[in-house]
Structure 1
Amino acid sequence: MARRSKNGDASFIMQGSILAIASIVSRIVGLLYRVPLTATIGDSGNGYYAAAYEIYNIILLISSYSIPLAVSKLVSARIAKGHVKDATRVLHGALIFAFISGGLAAGVVYFGAEFFTGVILKKSLAAIALKVLAPTLLVVAILGVFRGFFQGLGTMIPSAISQIGEQIVNAIVSVVAANALFSYGKKVGGVLGDVDEYAAAFGAAGGTLGTSTGAFFALIFILFIFYAFSKMLKKMVKRDKHRSTESYFEIFSVLILTILPVLLSTTVYNISSLIDQGIFNNVSLLQGYSEKESNALFGIFAGKYRVLINVPLAIASAMATSIVPSLTSAFNSGDEKLVRKQVNMGNRFVMIVAFPCAVGMMVLSSPIMQLLFNDSSRTASMMFVIGGCSIVFYSLSTLSNAILQGIDRMITPVKNAFIALVAHVLVLLALMFIFDLNIYAVVVANAFYALMMCFLNQSAVLRYSGAYIDIRRVVLAPFEASAIMGVVVLLMYKTFNALFALALSARIANAIACLLSILIGAIVYFLALFFFKGIDEETLLKFPGGARLCDIAYSLHLLR
């Protein structure tokens, strides 16, 4: 057991890295296809797309979002004891649960689409996109069970590969279907009297069709992987000699008791986006904005700002997913030292990535918007300047959420999320009614919510795990290195942009200057991180390609 724990220490970072790379690739693919998608459906289409997704995400949270984490936790705990038969019973019980919860959720969303979008969000045309998304709820529920099962076995590779494949299929189908349905929507709008809005709404439905198709592809792929693995699983079951096998009643009981706290936590944690949209749309109408204006503004927030913010957050999500099985195993075996070490390592890994991403997006907000969306408006770039810091807060709170669940403090994140949500709503209302900040109120309130969750969760993690966070290495070092990187990136961008603008068009000059300054910034950050002692050989080796990075560091005399 001790040897397993030691392996688990290095393993969860590596497995998290694999999933993080897959998540980043998926988010980048998602970001890239949103560029032509946005060009087709516009900010209004993004508004309908976002409205449909808010409803879909909340129902997904309630019905099946917590399934992968719960299955992973339960399977990991049983595999750690050598109880493979019980682990397979968890799989079977979870599949039954997924069919029931996913099927009910799909029916509710499909038949209640007009109510959700028209009555709650005041965007009735978003019902078209929401109905297309409805069957995805069943597919994702079943998919989540298999992903959670493999994660509980200690491998993130099936989840990683299926995630990338899902996003690639999603991207292709979304762009093609959005163009086709946008044209169809124009014809419908020509008959019903509002060409632009119907075209945008049907185009958004094309985008959501990609989500459904991608999820179905991922399910087929992971079923194939499971079929290939089934022979090995049968051998593992035969080697399991323990006699007191858990009954399906016991499995269902522990499954539901595990899912419910995770469900409550993730629902409260993520419902803020739906509340944001509901409050913003209704208050904007009261303040004299038209439905079309508020829809376009929220489309910028959801379709540009939040899409970009979510790319670096993939690191924290991946690390959170990978840390639960190893933490559960260490916690159940009573290895307090390993629990503390994993908590520290997880926080350190996430902060090394989150800080430079936050600073980079704040410094290059306008160039990035011009590069990706050809958007030079002040509205879009100011969102990143104001809310870029939330990348750090959301990264820490996402990881700490999973850590608390891994050490069996399941209710704590629920309480923290509820406290933060209430404060978030009060701040949002004050910023909109008193300060009239409009869409910027949503950005500030989101950053405040993330900060509250970060503080409450981290306090609980330190209290219950006994871990101690090395502020110098975990927080100050990446912050200082990121600050230097930010100054260099800004100076490099301005210099390159001015030079290339003499011979090239403004858009091409911006693109080259932006990419070159980001590349130089990454190198500067890497060097500065060693200077401020924010990374050492042990940590570097746990990164993908860590051995090669160590060789480079030694050759540059950064490591001794």
Structure 2
Amino acid sequence: MSEAAKSKRTSNFIIQGSILAAASIICRLIGVVYRVPLMNIVGEETMGVYSAAFTIYSIVLLISSLGIPTAVSRMVAAKAAVRKYKDSNRIFKGALLFALIVGTCAALVMYFGAGFFAEKALNMPTAKYAIRMLSPTVMVMAFLGVYRGYYQGLGTMIPSALSQIVEQIFNAVISIAAAYYLYAEGAKADRILNTDIYAVARGAEGATVGTGVGALVALILCMLIYLLYRRVLKRQMRRDKSRHVESYLSVWKTLVLILLPIIFNSAIYNISSLIDNSIFGHYTEFVGITQKEYQGIWGCYEGKYHLLTHVPISFATGLAASIVPALTRAVANQNHTQVANRINTSLRFTMLIAIPSCVGLAVLADPIVNLLFPGNEYNSLAVNLLWIGCITVVLYSWSTVTNAVLQGLNRMNVPARNAFIALVSHVVILAVCLWVFRLGIQGVVLADITFGLTMVVLNMISISRYVKYRQDMMKNYVLPLISSLIMGAFAFGVYTLLIKLVKRNWLATVISIIVAVIVYGVLLLLTKCVDEVDLYSMPKGKTVVNIAKKLHLLK
């Protein structure tokens, strides 16, 4: 069997996962790009309000529909693996009805509870307008999650990837335009009433408009794709000769049983952010920091530190979406060798991206922040947070993939249990950092690190209990780390030299990143951390192999 054929047989889910991961990274990069003019328009304080409102939105979204793509993909994959396409279609329709009921209820709760969430949960009354603006998006995302989960369960990530990119493009354009208009309107009201709250509140509200518009456009796109492939789906159902088709009641029961642990697990991740926001807000009030300063610091934490660290983490998020249905199919077919191989492969590819991203953010934190947010008041704080918290890129990528592995193994309750333990440790460390050592926002970052580390340790222990497989420690962790450290040294050296010669931060930063990527790729091949089979497992792998052979990096 040729290397290409072998790779195609064993690692197709990596190609599918890479497609979705690439889309996730593109979306994150679009998010970074549009946040720059957005922050320049509305300022740090407004971004703090916007981020706080988004925390509430994220929690309501996860309770209502965030787990729907994973649950639907898992259910559809299990039926598709044994060619029960009638059941797959019944799951799709049942999930749509479920999304309608749950999404509508969640949107109403969010709209009418906006004042309570803003004042009591966030200690930030100006966030209520943004929360209300986000409420219809919850219902749209519920439907969108069903379509994406259905496509993923059938083994294709392309509709999800395409819809994500379209969603983010519309989000970026509309958010900037709406924020500009509403911030200006709020500023007029402030001048007339001699206040300083309306520009911030309306600016944050405008920044959320694009979220809903983008989601709606993505939903329409997914519906059009479904109509285009409807004839193929009907043909598959005609080939299905099974007499018994699951009832809607059975579909809903299974959906809820899968959703509950996913929701609980995701809720803990998002609740940790809400807890951070609430505890830190009360801490700043206790130590005498003004509301305006608090919103600025939190805007820096969410709008710069979190924004930059979540770009590489999005690769793991995209890969995780393909792991769940891939492992579900392998488990359904009782292919234990394939299960072990897919776990090892997913961990390896995650580390190949996460480790160099961590090192790169640490080494180039200052130039990257000042490139994206030139002259901003809180840039030095953002750089400091990145130096401390860059390790979260590795930890959260690792925990995201291991969560997906456990879900694919039908151990739905395990990630939720581990997340609860991690949350307890997170809150304890946060309290100690704030109230004992008075570390401020740096204490929140240390608590984030604690959460991620606890999740990784507990998840890896859990996986070893349920699956017998051997990790390639050298290729999965040691060689990527060594290559990343050398890459980091090159990046730092090139930037230091160029900034002295050209004295332009943007040019020195961009060239340093390009050099870092090239050096890292060459080192992976020279150390044989990545071989020909691995390259064939990636999108455009054949092209990469041909280039590597011409450069004598592969034999």
Which residue is equivalent to 1:505?
A: none
Give how far 1:266 is off. 1.4
Give how far 1:8 is off. 6.3
Distance 1:28 1:378 in 2: 22
Distance 2:542 2:237 in 1: 37
Distance 1:441 1:161 in 2: 38
Which residue is equivalent to 1:532?
A: 527
| Among candidates 438, 443, 452, match of residue 445 of structure 2 | 443
Give the TM-score taking structure 1 as reference length: 0.96
Conserved in 2, the CA contact under 8 Å of 1:354 and 1:395?
A: yes
Distance 1:545 1:7 in 2: 12
Which residue is equivalent to 1:390?
A: 392
1:132 aligned to 2:140? no
SS at match of 1:304: helix
Distance 1:5 1:187 in 2: 65
Identity of aligned residues (%): 43
Distance 2:417 2:360 in 1: 33
Give how far 1:279 is off. 0.8
SS at match of 2:552: coil
Distance 1:531 1:480 in 2: 12
Distance 2:95 2:41 in 1: 40
One-letter amino acid of the structure 2 residue matched with residue 133 of structure 1: L
Conserved in 1, the CA contact under 8 Å of 2:77 and 2:154?
A: yes
Give how far 1:455 is off. 1.2
Conserved in 2, the CA contact under 8 Å of 1:5 and 1:338?
A: no
Which residue is equivalent to 1:410?
A: 412
Conserved in 1, the CA contact under 8 Å of 2:7 and 2:533?
A: no
Change beyond 3 A, Cα 1:480–1:217: same
Which residue is equivalent to 1:457?
A: 459
Which residue is equivalent to 1:211?
A: 211
Q: What do residues 63-119 of structure 1 show as CA deviations (whole Å, max 9, x unaligned)?
A: 100000000000000011111111111011111111111111100010000100111
Distance 1:270 1:121 in 2: 14
Q: What do residues 249-273 of structure 1 show as CA deviations (whole Å, max 9, x unaligned)?
A: 2111111111111111111233211
Conserved in 2, the CA contact under 8 Å of 1:480 and 1:532?
A: no
Which residue is equivalent to 1:422?
A: 424
Which residue is equivalent to 1:255?
A: 255
Give the TM-score taking structure 2 as reference length: 0.97
Give how far 1:10 is off. 2.1
SS at match of 1:246: coil
Q: After the TM superposition, which residues 21-100 of structure 1 pair with which residues of structure 2 at under 5 Å, given as runs?
A: 21-100=22-101
SS at match of 2:35: helix
One-letter amino acid of the structure 2 residue matched with residue 440 of structure 1: Q
Give how far 1:441 is off. 0.8
Conserved in 1, the CA contact under 8 Å of 2:31 and 2:168?
A: yes
Give how far 1:324 is off. 0.8
Give how far 1:542 is off. 1.3
Give how far 1:200 is off. 2.1
Give how far 1:280 is off. 0.7
Give how far 1:52 is off. 0.5
Distance 1:13 1:451 in 2: 25
Distance 1:8 1:38 in 2: 47
Distance 1:466 1:445 in 2: 32
Q: What do residues 299-344 of structure 1 show as CA deviations (whole Å, max 9, x unaligned)?
A: 0000111011111111100110011111000011110000000001
SS at match of 2:203: helix
One-letter amino acid of the structure 2 residue matched with residue 530 of structure 1: L
Conserved in 1, the CA contact under 8 Å of 2:11 and 2:342?
A: no
Conserved in 1, the CA contact under 8 Å of 2:129 and 2:201?
A: yes
One-letter amino acid of the structure 2 residue matched with residue 172 of structure 1: V
Which residue is equivalent to 1:121?
A: 122
Distance 1:375 1:459 in 2: 46
Distance 1:203 1:324 in 2: 39
Deviates further, 480-489 or 543-552? 543-552
| Among candidates 524, 538, 542, match of residue 543 of structure 1 | 538
Distance 2:180 2:94 in 1: 41
Q: What do residues 193-232 of structure 1 show as CA deviations (whole Å, max 9, x unaligned)?
A: 323x321221111110010100010011111111111111
Distance 1:332 1:323 in 2: 14
Distance 1:496 1:103 in 2: 55
Which residue is equivalent to 1:267?
A: 267
Deviates further, 148-157 or 459-468? 459-468
Which residue is equivalent to 2:108?
A: 107
Distance 2:393 2:409 in 1: 25
Which residue is equivalent to 1:492?
A: 494
Which residue is equivalent to 1:155?
A: 156
Distance 1:145 1:117 in 2: 30
SS at match of 1:134: helix
Deviates further, 521-530 or 398-407? 521-530
SS at match of 1:242: coil
Structure 1 residues not aligned, in runs of 5+: 502-508
Conserved in 1, the CA contact under 8 Å of 2:7 and 2:537?
A: no
Distance 2:270 2:344 in 1: 25
SS at match of 1:243: coil
Conserved in 2, the CA contact under 8 Å of 1:165 and 1:214?
A: yes
